[in-house]
Amino acid sequence: MNAQQKMGYLITEQLISELPAFKSANSQLEALAGQFKKQLTDKENVIRQKVKEAEAKAPTLSPTQIKTIQEDLAKDQQALYADEKRYQQDLAKKEQELLDPIYNKVRTAIESVAKNNGYSYILEGSSLMFADDADDIMPLVKSQLGL
Amino acid sequence: MKMKRIIQITLFAAIFTFLGVQDAVAQKVGHVNAQSIVYELPEMKQATSNLEALAGQYKKQLQTSKEKLEAKLMEATIKQERGELSPSDIQRIQQELGGEEQALFKKEQEYQQQLLKKEEELTGPLYEKIKTAINDVAKENGYSYILDATAVLFAEEVNDITSKVKAKLGM
């Protein structure tokens, strides 16, 4: 009745960081972030240039003309903010799209290893103060994942 | 004499067996989904709605005071634009409104503190109750450890005491 419960652990973060799929997802995300950043910087530079030109021309312009330019620039700036927000959302979405399947795969692998090897519990290794190396299921999960 | 010795030996053997068994008895580990209990406990739902009602009441009071203050400011601005106010009038009104604004800010902070206090007052005993129920179920069922279900990567369902704790709480 009081059979010994088998306890194991895994440092999830360590496993994930070693997964080729995770590394590839990460570099895809970095590339996308870099691309977005460049687009934003380019647009920002265009606005800066416009401001510079407007400032130079200002003395020769009527108050109405100045007002029109100000409104134009405000619109440009708002468009830039909107782009920034959209890019952030796109990035978060892409991150979820790329990483969720990886996390799910890891979760399933942990469960299979636990069941196939009679573990009662698999604990998160990073929250343990001490753990016996023998109870680390990392090698088992890796081989389950074909690593 | 020999009989007594045999009894002694038997007794020793029994003790040893007992100790041996004790030694072999593993520490039993279980887990509980405390969050789901906190979330589903009827008294907790009641406490949450009480707190929300109180927060709504405070918010309304603050909003009313804020609107009054804004109306006063608007009135003063209009009078000033019409040139109906002397410099000393303006200074007096600025001081008055500044004082009211600070009082409002203080009131807001007071309400926040009162809300926190009320929350502790209402939910503190409930958390204590849940903790006691977990403790009791653990002891009654011979568990040495109860883990938080959200903190484990895998757990056999057979060691989940959540439903037992809920039953103990009359849920």
Domain edges within chain B: 2-168
Closest approach of B29 to chain A, Cα-based (Å):
7
C-alpha to C-alpha distances, A105 to A22, A109, A112, A134, nearest whole angstrom? 11, 6, 11, 24
To test the contact with chain A by mutation, choose from B21, B150, B154 the residue with the greatest count of A C-beta atoms within 10 A, namely B154
Please report, in tens digits, the pLDDT of each residue of chain A (147 residues total). 456 899 999 999 999 999 999 999 999 999 999 999 999 999 999 999 999 999 998 889 888 998 999 999 999 999 999 999 999 999 999 999 999 999 999 999 999 999 999 999 999 999 899 999 999 999 999 999 998
Q: What is the pLDDT of residue B151?
A: 86
Domains of chain A: 7-144 (3.30.910)
Contact B134, B34 (CB under 8 A): yes
CA distance B161 to B167: 10
The residues, any chain, with a CB within 8 Å of residue B165's CB and separated by 6 or more, are B32, B37, B130, B133, B134, B137
Looking at the complex, does the CB of residue B152 fall below 8 Å from at least one CB of chain A?
A: yes
- CATH fold, domain B2-168, is Protein Binding, DinI Protein; Chain A (3.30.910)
Q: What is the pLDDT of residue B2?
A: 57
Q: Can you tell me the ipTM of this complex? A: 0.75
Q: What is the pLDDT of residue B1?
A: 52
Largest CA distance in chain A: 94
Contact flag B159-A121 (C-beta cutoff 8 Å):
yes
Task: Show which residues on chain A lie within 8 Å of chain B, measured between beta carbons.
Answer: 2-5, 7, 9-10, 12, 107, 110-111, 114, 119-124, 127
Contact flag B29-A121 (C-beta cutoff 8 Å):
yes
**In what helix (H) or strand (E) does residue B94 lie, and over which residues does it extend?**
helix B87-140
CA distance B158 to B171: 20
Q: What is the pLDDT of residue B87?
A: 92
Closest approach of A104 to chain B, Cα-based (Å):
12
Closest approach of A11 to chain B, Cα-based (Å):
10
3-state SS string over A73-87? HHHHHHHHHHHHHHH
CA distance B154 to A12: 12
pLDDT under 70: residue ranges of chain B: 1-25
